Amino acid sequence: MNTSTRKINVAIIGGGMFFDDIIGQSFKDFMRGGIAGALTSIGMSHLAADVADVSIDVSAIGTRSERSGTAGRIVDWFAEEFPEKPIEACYGETVWRDIIAKHQPDVLFVATPDNVHTQPILDALDAGCDVITEKPLCLTTAEADQIIQKARDADRVVAVDMHKRFDPFVRDMMLNANQKYGEINRVRAVLEEPLEVATEIFAWAEESNPFTYVGCHWLDVVHHYLQVKPRAVFATGQKNLLLHWDEHHVEIARRQGVDPTSFKRQHSINTWDSIDVAVTYDNGMRGDYNNNWINPAEFEGAVNQEIELYGIYGRGLVDQQDRGFREAVIGDGSRTRNPSFGGRIRHCGGELELFGYGKASIASGLLAAIRRRLGGEPLASLDDTYPTAASQRDVVQVIEAVALVAEKNYEHFVAGRGTPVTARLTDTDIEVIDPGQ
């Protein structure tokens, strides 16, 4: 590999829900020990020696509102461990532009809300950066096409943090699915987020929906491992709890024995409680995806997630609650844990270190950027090693189609006309079929 420069400069925008637990801790690990130690989790340990000397530094953290102080808090958190490596806290509506101009990062990590991915990615590519972005890549197929084309023209990596692809349980089942179960007739996938996501954590819940936010993970797993293309979409959803949150939060507070005014959001939240999606694929397989972000706080796990394959010779199921470990702790109740996602370890009083598929996903994109930028490897030769922007086009197409179909079906249902709307997907277009029009 090229040894003229062995350093990667990373800038990060956004400081959301998983920052301290996964994103920030992963980059602390990379700053301390490089990326080589994380490569076993993505099946790339044969490259460890080639990248062992590459140092990774974070130069800037950017968030929108200076009033929130999020970027400053994160910078202080990094400084506790790396006082000799100052990181700048930056703020602004288009903070990434200021960061790119001033710090000239090699890699921009985009951890902004779902609806604020596209412009930072495009601007970073224009500036010559490689990019790692949180999922989903974007919200419309037109935006996806723009990102994919610009990444190709600029010969730059755009990696998407699709961490379920790296879950060792899911990966093992999916890699062996056809051999064990034969032709797959149906996939059933569930991913449910806690109520606090929509009511306390995300101020931008109205700009997205539970399928876009987490259903994209299972879409990526199915599309990547089974190599299928979506051809038809049916979707319905429910707007009960969140749309009437101004009323329901009082009853929830009563049941929990807390003051309703302690809730961060008390007004109506105009978004979906849950969305149920049926996708028909080009081989006739059906995928059923069920997602919500109103799972009660009292549920035993941080999330509820499972994926099941039905084949002609057998079936497989990965259920987080069944495969995890359970604890019963005074004051915390009975809980299941998932250290496979973001486990932590500290040896002999040393530094805290993260392991799990949350870190693995980030490592896959970072490794691709290192191989392209420092090793001069052709972009196309790296495609199978990380979730590329191009691999997300079908995911985004389904996300866009679901948003259109679910909304139209909701309007029909409220008007007493059932749920007649579907969508036909081609390689280029989404055709919404609405018999009611």
Of 13, 321, 303, 294, residue with least CA distance to 163? 303
3-state secondary structure of 140: coil
**Is domain 7-164+342-389 classified as CATH 3.40.50.720?**
yes
pLDDT for 1: 39
pLDDT for 437: 79
Asked whether the beta carbons of 212 and 254 are under 8 A apart, the reply is no
Q: Is the N-terminal amide bond of 136 cis, ω within 30° of 0? A: yes
pLDDT for 5: 59
Domain range annotation of the chain: 7-164+342-389, 165-338
Angle, helix 24-33 to helix 70-79, in steps of 10 degrees: 30
* C-alpha triplet 127, 131, 136: angle, nearest 5°: 130
**Cα separation, 214 vs 193, whole angstroms:** 8
**DSSP secondary structure code for residue 334 in this structure:** E
**DSSP secondary structure code for residue 158 in this structure:** E
pLDDT for 67: 84
Query: What percent of the residues of the chain are helix, what percent strand, and what percent coil, each to the nearest 5?
Result: 45, 25, 30
Radius of gyration of the chain (CA): 22
pLDDT for 349: 75
pLDDT under 50: residue ranges of the chain = 1-4
pLDDT for 323: 87
Rounded to a whole number of angstroms, the distance between the first and last alpha carbons of the chain is 60
Q: What is the DSSP string of 130-180?
A: EEEEESSS-SSHHHHHHHHHHHHHHT--EEEE-GGGG-HHHHHHHHTHHHH
3-state secondary structure of 109: strand
Model pLDDT for residues 159-186, shown as the tens digit of each residue = 999 999 999 999 999 999 999 999 999 9
Of 194, 294, 184, 196, residue with least CA distance to 238? 294
Angle, helix 168-175 to helix 216-226, in steps of 10 degrees: 40
Q: Write the class of the CATH domain 165-338.
A: alpha beta
Model pLDDT for residues 85-97, shown as the tens digit of each residue = 999 999 999 999 9
